[in-house]
Structure 1
Amino acid sequence: MSESNMRPDKERCEAYRQFERIHAAFRAGDIDALRAAVDDPACIPNGPMPPGIGACLEYAIYHSALPFVRTLLDAGADPRPADHAGFPPLLAALSCTLAPPGGSARADVVELLRLLLDFGADPAQRGINDYTALHMAVSVRNLPAVALLLAAGADAACRTRIDDCETPREMAEAMGLSDIARLLAAHGGQRQDTK
């Protein structure tokens, strides 16, 4: 096999080794190791990460302990990114309520939400399915998260602008989540008018 035919395999192997170093740094909560593992240390915490990583803060939400998420926020990570591939930080955190296949759920989702809110995350920022954080909290059946978001000023009457155009309360009622629906109703959550 010629040298030119082997180059793509070498490049893939090096990219995989770099990914492993980056992932290990996120898991260890080591910002210096993370900066050393990327091609441009200045990309931490808001610049473009290597393919497969996504946004630095989002990756930390999925793979790092709470103190490292705080480290990135202290370093200037944007809790309200315009480019978020459907999962702005609050939605990413809420998605960790449920265990991914072969993984485990985060036990500290409410603390993570509180941290993100303290650093200015926007509960009205929309993501996948045009969900706000409150819609996402209902979809993952997280009552404490719903309460926290309402206390932070989330709009209980906000509707999605696609699909069923539901409010969080309507979602909760459709899912049979009476405790969440009552809490949302107490905060002005509306139902669709039926004819």
Structure 2
Amino acid sequence: MAEHEAAQTALMWAAAGGHADVVRVLAESGADIHARTPRGFTALMFAAQFGDVATAQVLLEAGADLEGRALDGSTPLLVASRSMDALAGIDWRIIPSQSGHQDTALFLINQGADVAATDKRGRTALHAAVETGRPILAKALIDAGAGIDGQFGSPPPPLRGDYISRNSFKGASPFWLAARDANLPMMRILLEAGADPFLPNAYNVTPLMIASGLGENDARRPQDHLVVDAVRLLLDLGADVTVTNRYGQTALHGAASMWEDGVIQLLVDNGADVNAEDQRGRTPLYLVEYGNANAPSESTADLLRQLGAAEPVVQR
């Protein structure tokens, strides 16, 4: 029997609500464990999305497909890894610890789920673990053989409502995502596992650039001290401050556009050209004075001038 509004069966509704006992009764009564919605979701995927280990266990015992895929290529493990509670999503540091999604993902890994599986956009469970700020899950995926440097084939749908800089995710690796969030614990986990700290995205934006703020928006930037620490770590690893993206912009352009004074000082101390021009002839100081929708940051402009920035030429 199908629910008309969402094409969900009674089994799916029970799984989506975490009602393991109801799921067991329905399965024993002959409910179709393998039924799918028009988007290819199974009851096990709904259990993964809800974050309920008991329901997932009942479904697997009844013969549910651990590696079944939705139309977007998602497996139950991918669904569990990327799902979050309603209160989560603003910042990796406030993911509620009581969320059952991580426990469900860990359970699926222990059941033998393919940790290398990707959806049609190239997202892996490790990408999702990094984006949702789950170091325990990330370690479990790595220990189970997840690829460290997998890259998105195309930008995934926003996990956190960030539509402004989402296109930059094309080609992003898990480490790149951790650098973007200035999530040092996650960066170190990935480094210990052999992640490439210099691997750029499809637009040649390196982890150093994204950590510095290149292509970002100030509405979702991490706290300044975390950004400085992340940039310092990348510089200590040997990140090149002179590398440019496909538009000729450097990490310093990014730090200037985000008014990250501490990062600016770090980058210049490590050889960044304070007068570097992008393909449109814009310097970091130009971006501070004319490239932000808000009023210019006087402290950032003063710092750049103290570091030797020439007055920008404004095209009339």
Task: Give the structure, 1 or 2, with the largest relative contact order (CA under 8 Å, sep 6 or more).
Answer: 1
User: Which of structures 1 and 2 has the bigger CA Rg?
Assistant: 2
Count of aligned pairs: 186
Name 1:156's counterpart in structure 2. 274
Give the ranges of 4+ consecutive aligned residues of structure 1 lying more than 6 Å apart after TM superposition. 1-5
SS in 2 for 1:135: helix
What is the Cα deviation at residue 151 of structure 1?
1.0
Identity of aligned residues (%): 27
**Considering only aligned residues, what root-mean-square deviation do their CA atoms show, in Å?**
3.5
Gap regions ≥5 residues in structure 2: 3-31, 43-68, 84-104, 106-124, 157-168
1:176 matched to 2:282? The reply is no
* 1:8 maps to which of 36, 40, 45: 40
User: Taking structure 2 as the reference length, what is the TM-score of the superposition?
Assistant: 0.49
- Report the secondary structure of 2:41's partner residue: helix
User: How many Å separate the matches in 2 of 1:119 and 1:90?
Assistant: 10
Task: Describe how 1:1-195 pairs up with structure 2 within 5 A.
Answer: 8-10=40-42, 11-12=69-70, 14=76, 15-20=78-83, 21=105, 22=125, 23-24=128-129, 27-30=133-136, 31-35=138-142, 41=146, 43-44=147-148, 46-48=149-151, 52=156, 54-62=172-180, 65-85=183-203, 87-95=205-213, 98-100=218-220, 105-106=222-223, 107-127=225-245, 130-162=248-280, 165-174=281-290, 176-192=296-312
Letter of the structure 2 residue corresponding to residue 32 of structure 1: K
Distance in 2, Cα, partners of 1:172 & 1:189: 12
Separation in 2, partners of 1:24, 1:136 = 26
Partner SS state of residue 133, structure 2: helix
Task: Provide structure 1 residue ranges, at least 5 long, that are not aligned to the other structure.
Answer: none
Q: What one-letter code is carried by the residue in structure 2 that aligns with 1:159?
A: E
TM-score scaled by structure 1? 0.74
